[in-house]
Copies of this chain bind each other. A is one copy, B any other.
Amino acid sequence: MRTENEDREDRIINAARKLIVHYGYDKTTVDEIAQEAGISKGAVYLHFDKKEAIFEAVFIHALKNYADKWMDLIEHDPKGGTIGGMYKNMLFALKDSPFMVAVFKQDRRVLGNYMKRPDNIFKGESFKGTRFETVKLFQEAGVVRQDLDPMIAAHIMNMLAYGLVAMDEVMETDEIPPTEAVIEGIADFMDRAMTPPNGGDSNAGKAILRKMIGSSLEKLS
């Protein structure tokens, strides 16, 4: 069952996430986080020993939510196991999490001085290079064309994900088409460019993703 303590820890994390997304890490004070969570600053330090630990908890939470949501979208999408389908659902899951978007963009305004820590959580192994693995596994399962450099394909996918969330830095917002339409367009491109002639087996893809995302989620909890 859910303890009072866990509940309060969640309140701290949610308060922190909300404030960090809005004001950025540097301009969010521990006092404000405590207030937003409805407790005193001292109580915050009963849960986390440093401000940075709060940030890291926010990240773990957001990453978990993102993975959960992604997995959920995949399971409910018949085409969730094709390359375009899995990518589309990933982008849909990503775009609804401003915190994860900030992390993906390495947004200095939001991440602030946390990024200056030499041992920050993003430097760890657990959080990168997964796209390449996915493409390779998809190829082995025949969901992605064999004649395709997985390195390049993964990189193009990264570029498109980055473009989706970062394009507003270089274009006026009103010149950018609606995000939903762009995501659908990207998925269509991916399917046409990466799926083998026979179409590819969506269920095989789903099995891979369940395994991959599942094991990632395990590491987090």
Residues of A within 8 A of B (CB): 104-106, 129, 149, 151-153, 155-156, 158-160, 162-164, 166-167, 169-171, 175-177, 181-182, 184-186, 188-189, 192-193
Contacts and interface: CB of A to CB of B under 8 A. Distances in A.
A167 B156 contact: no
Contacts of A175: 129
A208 B192 CA distance: 25
A185 B156 contact: yes
A170 B181 contact: no
A152 B176 CA distance: 9
A94 to B, nearest CB: 14
A95 to B, nearest CB: 14
Nearest to A170: B106
A100 B127 CA distance: 33
B149 A185 contact: yes
A19 to B, nearest CB: 24
Contact of A152 (B104, B149, B185, B193): B185
Identical subunits present: 2
What does DSSP make chain A's interface, helix, strand, loop or mixed? helix
Contacts of A167: 155, 158-159, 162
Given A159-B163, A163-B160, A177-B151, A193 B189 contact: yes
A105 B170 CA distance: 7
29 contacts: A106-B170, A149-B177, A149-B185, A151-B177, A152-B177, A152-B181, A152-B182, A152-B184, A153-B185, A155-B167, A156-B160, A156-B163, A156-B185, A156-B189, A159-B160, A159-B162, A159-B163, A159-B167, A160-B163, A162-B163, A162-B166, A162-B170, A163-B163, A166-B166, A188-B193, A189-B193, A192-B192, A192-B193, A193-B193
Contacts of A105: 170
Given A152-B181, A162-B166, 20 more contacts: A105-B170, A149-B177, A151-B177, A152-B184, A152-B185, A153-B185, A155-B185, A156-B182, A156-B186, A156-B189, A158-B163, A158-B171, A159-B162, A159-B164, A160-B163, A162-B167, A163-B163, A166-B166, A192-B192, A193-B193
